[in-house]
A and B are shown apart, each in its own frame.
Chain A
Amino acid sequence: MDIPKEVDVLVVGMGPGGSGAAKKAAELGLSVLGVEKRAEIGAPKRCGEAVSRHGMIERIGIEPKGPWLIQEVHGAVVYSPDGRHVRIDYDGPEGWIVERKLFDKHLAALAARTGARIMAKTEAKNFRRVEGGIKATLESEGITHDVKARIVIAADGVESKVARELGVNTTARLIDICAGAQFEMANVKPNENMIEFFFGNGIAPGGYCWIFPKGEGMVNVGIGVRRPWAKKPAIEYLKEFVRSRPELRDGSILEVNSGGVPVGGFLKDNVDDNLMIVGDAAHQVNPIHGGGIPEAYMAGRIAAEVAAEAVKANDFSKKFLKRYDEIWMKQRGNRLKKILKLREVMESMSDDDLNWLINYLQGQDLVDISRSSGFTRFAKILMKRPKLIKLARKLI
């Protein structure tokens, strides 16, 4: 098949953000080329692989069915630094663990089936502005090929090279990026159907550890930590965590991954002339749990919708594309900004405060609390501890 020389939309990076954009753009009748520089879409994964019910149904908008869906999540257990825990049980699946390597490919396949042309092991380089668009050089198996796009959707993840090459500064500040490490382990005894979170400044400074069940005695166990709280590499904390857990200690590690998760520091502009930035590249991640799959997919879809409007209006200026930013901010960004505030409150809490909080939450209706959309309720809980009153006020 010939590689097109000109397209309406060039999508760079075929993670969930890129696939969300490519599918929607193709659906709206645009010519779409999506490229992924890695040899395999979805690998290596850099995450915990959990997607909430809301994220799957509302933001990604697909039916939770297929070989990529490997475990239902019926609740969560949250551990305080001193080992106390609270358990939240939902009536049915409140989320799923997906096999990222299959899931990301599934999303890319949906885009391809809709009419987008997708190419793995194809790197887009040397982005330059030309009359009527942006030109990039594709490198694929020794062949170089120039392509001109009216719009580039940069979905190239935390690296975010495309935006920076085109003059948009997307560099994540060290305090706004989680250093993550993750093992896939076998022969362990996880809490089936439950995802587990472990907090503590000694365990995971500036972040948390997780254990997510993957069925058949397998888990995805991982950590996110941040400087300046963390004093050593994330993987060192993770190894210590695994050694400390009786259910993990004797397991075998089948896979090791690492990654950077931009958890905050949303960009002022996710657009420029002929350019829109989505997903991790635009720091569109839930700042408290670091989940970004549904965020990226949804942002990609919005970007594609604006791209279609731009093609119709034949206007690819930053001013026109700014619409994408506005819609995203309204539908998602404002909410994520609030969540960022909650995280800032939580990271100011000492281990003693966290122990107190988990202790207090034992015996509360956690399903109800977890589903309440405002933070007033949470703030009121913190206010029961005099030294946290000042902190709690930040949430109201």
Chain B
Amino acid sequence: MIRTDKSKCLRCAGCVGVCPKSALTLTEHGIVCNENCNDCGICINFCPVGAIKPKER
């Protein structure tokens, strides 16, 4: 699972497009990650503004 730093996230939703598990959604409250996440880290590597970090389970 991931968490986003709201002070950095610009809500571009590029991470949604690279997520192979379709686990991410852009909502009114920013990026939301669901249980399909397998911690592959692709969104973290992609994020243009460095807003995504792994969430400790």
Residues of A within 8 A of B (CB): 44, 46, 157-161, 164, 170-174, 177, 179-181, 227, 232-236, 256-260, 262, 280
Contacts and interface: CB of A to CB of B under 8 A. Distances in A.
Contacts of B20: 171
Given A158-B13, A158-B14, A260-B12, A164 B48 contact: no
A147 to B, nearest CB: 20
Contact of B14 (A170, A173, A232, A260): A260
B55 to A, nearest CB: 18
Nearest to B44: A233
B51 to A, nearest CB: 8
Interface residues of B, number: 21
Interface of B: 10-20, 22, 25-26, 42, 45-50
B15 to A, nearest CB: 7
Contacts of A174: 18, 42, 45-46
B17 A158 contact: yes
Given A181-B49, A227-B45, A233-B47, A260 B18 contact: yes
Contacts of B19: 171
Nearest to B17: A158
Contact of A232 (B11, B46, B50): B50
Contacts of B12: 44, 46, 257-260
Given A159-B17, A179-B14, 15 more contacts: A158-B16, A159-B13, A164-B22, A171-B18, A171-B20, A172-B17, A177-B46, A179-B46, A180-B14, A181-B49, A232-B50, A235-B48, A235-B50, A236-B50, A280-B17
